[in-house]
């Protein structure tokens, strides 16, 4: 049964803090950042100063010590203002921090988590490769023992969010034979041999850094191994299970922004003797999207509740991301259609929301992967052929 958490005072405080910051520090500048393809690192630092870059990092390591529901509530607010900025927030709170929180040694936690929580250091998560995206178990980057307890990494990574601005990297490489059991995880600061590529041109997320990484004889000590040899794919997948709930929250923020924009425009736009909001052709698509957004948000909060309770949440996260990402894409489309020619113009945010929404169906597992996760839960071994 789908059940959202009962929001506590702490949840509502985080939500209000994120909403106020987004309205004052992000939304007024989002169009300019996107036009210039600028990553507002100073704003990410400010988010760290107010506790929104380490929401679920324990207080003893510099974080806010809150839960995943809090992360999702903040994500929706920030994404409604600018999706690119929210992507950095998602990586910092989840993909960069969570593997260390859940699998790091005391020394690794003390070394990396305070900087991630404050955003003095920006984190990145390097799993995807040119020939290993959805099939993460087939990654080719190698980590070879150096005979002194350390490792030498060689390979290439692709589509690395925050990669061009990151100070610390969670990396995945093959330390053993083929398949899942041969993959290990590492955590390292930026170092010689870890070479970010040029910023990649993208359909959307113009205020987010996305690069490829080349690993050229990257030398890491034994203290860089995260969670033990051969544990990399487990760490990667458990991190993505939670991350999909976060991306569902991001998609809800995009959809909400699109609906709000279209409702505001339709209420003011005059045609044929009155506001176009009086026409059912305008009303009904937005009414439909409003109802579906509520359903998507409920699925997202349900997934967050399960994670916070320590219960299995992989399937719930897949359902939340599948539904919320489609709602984001369709709500953005409705916004563009409602605004007509202005929807196609950079004068309004509709075209940016339209471009940004699509990524939610692709990263941290495509919609096809989410359907596969859900189908395997339904059919068990019969779904595997």
| DSSP string covering 170-222 | EEEEE-SSSSGGGEEEEEEES-TTEEE-PPPP-SS-TTS-EEEEEEEEEEE-G
Paired residues of 187 in beta bridges = 170
- Residues found in the chain: 385
Reading the block at residue 21, the tokens are: 């910051």
Say if residues 14 and 78 touch (Cβ distance below 8 Å): no
Q: Which residues pair with 211 in a beta bridge?
A: 160
The set of residues, in sequence order, having a beta carbon less than 8 Å from that of 37 and lying 6+ positions away, is: 199, 206, 207
**Phi, psi (degrees; rounded to nearest 5) at 157:** -120, 160
Asked if 364 is an active-site residue, the reply is yes
CB 169 within 8 A of CB 136: no
Q: Which of 192, 197, 195 is nearest to 211 (CA)?
A: 197
Q: What is the CA radius of gyration of the chain?
A: 21
SS3 string, 47-116, reads: HHHCCCCCCCCCHHHCCCCCCHHHHHHHHHHHHHHCHHHHHHHHHHHHHHHHHHHHHCCHHHHHHHHHHH
| Of 77, 330, 351, 364, catalytic | 364
Enumerate the β-bridge partners of residue 170.
125, 187
How far apart (Å, rounded) are the C-alpha atoms in residues 242 and 232? 16
Q: Which residues are catalytic?
A: 364
């Amino acid at each position: 049964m789908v059940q959202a958490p009962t929001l506590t005072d702490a949840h509502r405080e985080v939500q209000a803090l994120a909403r106020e910051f987004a309205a004052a520090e992000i939304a007024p500048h989002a169009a300019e950042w996107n036009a210039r393809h600028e990553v507002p690192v100073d704003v990410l630092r400010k988010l760290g100063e107010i506790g929104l870059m380490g929401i679920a990092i324990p207080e003893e390591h510099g974080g806010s010590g809150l839960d995943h529901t809090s992360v999702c509530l903040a994500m929706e607010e920030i994404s409604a203002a600018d999706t690119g900025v929210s992507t950095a927030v998602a990586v910092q709170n989840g993909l960069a921090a969570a593997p260390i929180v859940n699998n790091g040694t005391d020394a690794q936690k003390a070394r990396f988590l305070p900087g991630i929580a404050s955003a003095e250091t920006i984190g990145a998560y390097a799993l995807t490769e040119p020939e290993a995206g959805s099939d993460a178990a087939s990654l080719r980057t190698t980590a070879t023992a150096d005979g002194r307890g350390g490792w030498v990494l060689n390979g290439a990574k692709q589509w690395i969010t925050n990669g061009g601005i990151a100070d610390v990297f969670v990396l995945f490489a093959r330390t053993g034979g083929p398949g899942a059991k041969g993959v290990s995880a590492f955590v390292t600061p930026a170092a010689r041999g870890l070479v970010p590529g040029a910023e990649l041109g993208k359909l959307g997320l113009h205020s987010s850094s996305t690069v490829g990484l080349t690993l050229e004889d990257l030398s890491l000590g034994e203290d860089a191994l995260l969670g033990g040899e051969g544990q990399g794919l487990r760490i990667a997948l458990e991190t993505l299970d939670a991350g999909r709930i976060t991306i569902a929250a991001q998609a809800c923020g995009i959809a909400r922004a699109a609906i709000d924009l279209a409702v505001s425009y339709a209420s003011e736009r005059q045609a044929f003797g009155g506001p176009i909001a009086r026409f059912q052709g305008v009303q009904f698509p937005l009414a439909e999207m409003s109802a579906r957004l509520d359903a998507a948000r409920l699925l997202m909060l349900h997934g967050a509740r399960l994670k916070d309770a320590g219960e299995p949440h992989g399937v719930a996260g897949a359902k939340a991301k599948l539904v919320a990402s489609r709602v984001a894409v369709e709500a953005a489309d409705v916004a563009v259609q409602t605004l007509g020619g202005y929807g196609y113009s950079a004068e309004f945010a509709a075209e940016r929301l339209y471009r940004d929404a699509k990524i939610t169906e692709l990263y941290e597992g495509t919609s096809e992967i989410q359907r596969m996760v859900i189908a395997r839960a339904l059919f068990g071994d019969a779904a595997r052929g």
